[in-house]
Amino acid sequence: MAAYLDFEKPIADLEEQLTKALEIAEVGQVDASQTINDLKKKINETRKEIYANLTPWQRVQVSRHPERPYTLDYITGMTDGNFVELHGDRNVKDDKAIVGGLGSIDGKSYMFIGQQKGINTKMRQYRNFGMANPEGYRKALRLMKLAEKFNKPIITLIDTPGAYPGLEAEERGQGEAIAKNLLEMFQLKVPIMCIIIGEGASGGALGIGIGDKVMMLENTWYSVISPESCSSILWRSWEHKEKAADALKLTPKDMLKNKLIDGIIKEPAGGAHSNKADMVKRVKREVIKTIAVLEEFPTQELIESRINKFCEMGSYAK
Amino acid sequence: MSSWFKRMKQGITTPTKEKKETPDGLWFKSPSGNVVETNELKANNYVVPADDYHKRIGSEEYFNILFDKNEYEELNKDLQSGDPLKFTDTKSYKDRYKAAQKKTGLKDAIRTAHGQVNGEDLVVAAMDFNFIGGSMGSVVGEKIARAIDYAIENKYPFMIISKSGGARMMEAAFSLMQMAKTSAKLSLLAQAKLPYISLLTDPTTGGITASFAMLGDINIAEPNALIGFAGPRIIKETIGRDLPEGFQTSEFLLEKGFLDFIVDRRHLKTKLTQILRLFKN
């Protein structure tokens, strides 16, 4: 049974009708092929229509869809399984909320790093809901330095509701771990591409988010705080999450307009979860294209333009 | 009726205008109840002598404490937020911003300046908690960035005095990217081999801790300051139990290895001078 978001109800209803029609066709008494075709067409149209007009809050919901592809889906899909996961920060432990390793696309090696969410209740706990501890950020940095040493481009896949706000996380320096990554990523001598594939929540996302090219999938969000937390702080209630989602301008379109990201990767109609293989293919295409362009730049130029790009972000007046 | 029931003397005879005034702010009371005269408090760098309580102060007071003869040149002092998102919650950001400016007499939550500390040149960025919780928006990021440029250009060491609740929500992702921007500039300062001293004061949390506050060549803090990434209330809600005593204090961070030392504000200038000279000579 597929999971549907509340605004996807028309799609769910049509899917149900389709299932029934298919059942009838199976029994074989009536020719239902015309109905089935009509329904399939209608489902596609409805899906397109709904997804063409998502509100910011609905986009946030899609970004958290339980069937959405996660980091490892993209990595294994893009590399066709030619991927070796590397573990551990070499100091404390292996953080399961951030995965990384070397993988190959069309015979070329890349370093992949990203937050990983779980696919079911047990795995969600195992992955700590994609909320990394300091070890996760330190593992990420270790792998980025490894990539730099062997001159491999870095691809980060961002999907987190935030860095983990836990007791041990504070004891082991969550703030310091993220800060260090920001500083170090600006000076890495290899191309870095960052892709927000789901949730891009605050410092937890930015901690692996400094890149020469930062892109967002169409149905994702990226901001300093989640709409729910923003609502609870500014409106003192969780009820205003829709308003908060509007106010935060967290959609890919707004982020691009405000020059805070470099591009958007379109999703299949109905969102990434409606056709995972297609989504992975789209991301793969973008990765190959982007890295090929970035590798043309001399290292110093690459670092300078990375720094300049982020230094131009802001809005102020004299 | 006995005479002692009868009021022989008049009641209060002093007319209101002749009353001795006790103006507000003549005395300061620390959280543990020790009282000190405000003039004495000021002379003591805003530390209560009886219990060493460090009162929260702003850029004005820090510049006064650090710079010789209180002489300094303020950098980019007129920079203001552009309200990039036209953000409105229960109130518009524009109105909040104006109200904060009116209340504090400041332009935004940070001031940057160049001056001398016992004859040693230093560029200082000091945050003002009074201004929307010292939150970091575009102006805070840009002023730090420009102060670092100034330090690199003139080969001066750099210092940030952090005092902030974190990012400024009303500037959303613009605010988030200031973490990146300030870190980018600090990476250039590091390449220029100029010392960066980060002083963390009460409170330093959120995106400030996760960017420039933790990136000092030397990280120091005032005693008993709240320093952390997540706020204590959120952590408590997440883990579902009480937090240990002293959690997220300067002393806790020193013990966990994230600070070089804790400095009493009364010794700040001396200690800072010592460090600057040790780097220089």
CB contact under 8 A, B177 and A313: yes
With a CB cutoff of 8 Å and minimum separation 6, the contacts of A95 are A89, A128, A132, A133, A135, A136, A139
Residue B221 host element (H or E): strand B218-221
Q: Distance between CA B214 and CA B221 in Å, rounded?
A: 11
- For residue A155, being part of any structural domain is answered with yes
Same domain, A34 and A91: no
Are B230 and B166 spatial neighbours (Cβ–Cβ below 8 Å)? no
Helix residue ranges per DSSP H, A223-264: 227-234, 241-248, 252-257
Q: In 3D, which of B189, B186, B262, B184 has the Cα closest to residue B219? A: B262
Same domain, A70 and A99: yes
Same domain, A24 and A158: no
Question: How far lies B24's CA from each of B16, B21, B27, B32, in Å?
Answer: 17, 9, 8, 20
Residue A259 has phi, psi (to 5 degrees) of 60, 35
Tokens 């333009």 sit on residue = A305
B-facing residues of A in 185-244 (CB < 8 A) are: 186-187, 202-203, 206-207, 209-210, 222-225, 230, 233-235, 240, 243-244
Full domain range(s) for residue A48: 7-53
- For residue A316, being part of any structural domain is answered with no
pLDDT 10s digits, A94-125: 999 999 999 999 999 999 999 999 999 999 99
Q: Which of A179, A244, A307 sits opposite B210 (nearest CB)?
A: A179
Beta bridge partners of B110: B127
Averaged pLDDT, B228-255? 94
pLDDT band at A27 (very low <50, low <70, confident <90, very high): confident
Residue A309 has phi, psi (to 5 degrees) of -60, -50
Q: Which of A172, A186, A314 sits opposite B178 (nearest CB)?
A: A314
CB contact under 8 A, A234 and B81: no
Kindly report the nearest CA distance between residue B263 and chain A, in angstroms. 20
Question: How far lies B54's CA from each of B226, B264, B269, in Å?
Answer: 12, 8, 15
**What pLDDT score was predicted for residue B64?**
97
CB contact under 8 A, A315 and B248: no
- For residue A227 the two structure tokens come to 């709409």
Q: Distance between CA A96 and CA A222 in Å, rounded?
A: 22
- For residue A120, being part of any structural domain is answered with yes
pLDDT 10s digits, B130-152: 999 999 999 999 999 999 999 99
Between B15 and A288, the more confident residue is: A288
CB contact under 8 A, B230 and A170: yes
Q: β-pairing, A108-115 with A98-105? A: antiparallel
CB contact under 8 A, A224 and B141: no
Same domain, A146 and A268: yes
Same domain, A286 and A161: yes
Q: How many structural domains are present in chain A?
A: 2
Q: β-pairing, B110-117 with B27-29? A: unpaired
Strand positions, DSSP E, chain A: 83-85, 98-105, 108-115, 154-160, 192-201, 213-217, 221-223, 263-265, 316-317
CB contact under 8 A, A166 and B206: no
**Average pLDDT of chain B to the nearest whole number:** 93
Residue of chain A whose Cα is closest to the Cα of B230: A165
pLDDT 10s digits, A33-73: 888 999 999 999 999 999 998 999 999 999 999 999 999 99
pTM of the entire structure?
0.93
Same domain, A175 and A226: yes
Q: Which of A18, A37, A53 is the last residue of a domain?
A: A53
Same domain, A175 and A150: yes
pLDDT band at A2 (very low <50, low <70, confident <90, very high): confident
pLDDT 10s digits, A215-250: 999 999 999 999 999 999 989 888 999 999 999 999
- For residue A304, being part of any structural domain is answered with yes
pLDDT band at B10 (very low <50, low <70, confident <90, very high): low
Residue A123 has phi, psi (to 5 degrees) of -70, -30
- For residue A2, being part of any structural domain is answered with no
- For residue A288, being part of any structural domain is answered with yes
Query: For residue A234, which residues of chain B lie inside 8 Å, CB to CB?
Result: 89-90, 169
Exposed (0-12), middle (13-18) or buried (19+): which is B5, by Cβ within 10 Å?
exposed
- For residue A183, being part of any structural domain is answered with yes
- For residue A90, being part of any structural domain is answered with yes
ipTM above 0.90, yes or no: yes
Question: How far lies B208's CA from each of A241, B164, B203, B231, in Å?
Answer: 25, 7, 10, 12
Same domain, A73 and A41: no
Residue of chain B whose Cα is closest to the Cα of A255: B173
pLDDT band at B23 (very low <50, low <70, confident <90, very high): low
Kindly report the nearest CA distance between residue B55 and chain A, in angstroms. 25
Lowest mean pLDDT among A14-18, B52-56, B189-193: A14-18
pLDDT band at B164 (very low <50, low <70, confident <90, very high): very high
CATH of the domain at A89: 3.90.226.10
Same domain, A46 and A175: no
- For residue A166 the two structure tokens come to 């836990």
Tell whether the model's pLDDT for residue A268 goes beyond 90: yes
**Average pLDDT of chain A to the nearest whole number:** 95
Query: For residue B167, which residues of chain A lie inside 8 Å, CB to CB?
Result: 202, 224-225
Query: For residue A233, which residues of chain B lie inside 8 Å, CB to CB?
Result: 169
Same domain, A76 and A209: yes
Same domain, A222 and A77: yes
Same domain, A48 and A67: no
